[in-house]
Amino acid sequence: MVAATKYATLRERYAKGTGPTGTLKSIKGFTVTSNGEVIENVEISGSLRIEADNVVVRNFRLLAGGAPYGIQMTDGAKNVKLQRGEVRDASSALLYGSDFLAESLELHHGGGDAIKAILRATVRQSWIHHLGSNANAHADGNQTRSGGQLFFGDNYFDMPSPGTPEYPGSPWKSNACQIIQAADGPIDGVTFERNIFDGGNYVLYVTSPDNFGMPKNVRIVDNLFGDNYKYGLLNKDGALFESGNRWLETGIAIPDLSAAKKAA
């Protein structure tokens, strides 16, 4: 088990590197329909739905108030940038959609998933924690059921499984840090690089339960894995590329994630 002080240090580092700074103006949630709109230095009460291209949302806090989604990129919105923000209190997912960059975000205290990324999305330098407050939740740090061209880099998926030393008796119900499951369509191109993954039943699922084939071109490279999970690091169907992954506690290499045992 990684010492509690090490987790505290990680959380302090990500808390400083994510979320808004300074004074924020209070506004209500709304739908963005103007291309190129910049929304900054605000605290948003309710959902933000983005239906336009080249929208920037930066230095913000969004309190979804139990709405299904916090920020939703939809109706063909392209090149959305979400930077230095905090999103919480959505019931289904804190972020949903395609064609977005999420950078330096704190995504937390959600009823369900943190992210439902579909196509052409990048998530980096973000902290994902405290998910799954809904009854019978099985919360994922990210859940992708079709699409691809996704990149997750330098994030901390801080989702210790209930009953593990980090979450004894916890009400937060985490299923996986990542589930890449070709359930609604094929998936092609997903990279996990330099993340810290901790928690879930299996930490990562890369599976194909239906007729869309194994997700293609999945890369799991240079990540650190904690041992606050229930069953294993990786549940997969078929082949994928993995290299340079290590235990968070010891730094010891993990040559085969699907066969790994908890760090001694």
**pLDDT tens digits for range 106-130:** 999 999 999 999 999 999 999 999 9
Q: How confident is the model over 29-48, as a mean pLDDT?
A: 98
What global pTM score does this model have? 0.95
Question: Is 23 exposed, middle or buried (CB count within 10 Å of its CB: 0-12, 13-18, 19+)?
Answer: exposed
On the question of pLDDT at 169 being above 80, the answer is no
Asked whether the predicted pLDDT for residue 247 surpasses 90, the reply is yes
Structure confidence at residue 191 as a pLDDT band (50, 70, 90): very high
pLDDT digits (tens, 9 = 90+) for 60-107: 999 999 999 999 998 889 999 999 999 999 999 999 999 999 999 999
CA distance 242 to 240: 7
The candidate with the shortest Cα–Cα distance to 94, out of 51, 56, 43, 47, is 47
- What is the Cα–Cα distance from 211 to 223, expressed in whole angstroms? 30
Is pLDDT of 17 > 80? yes
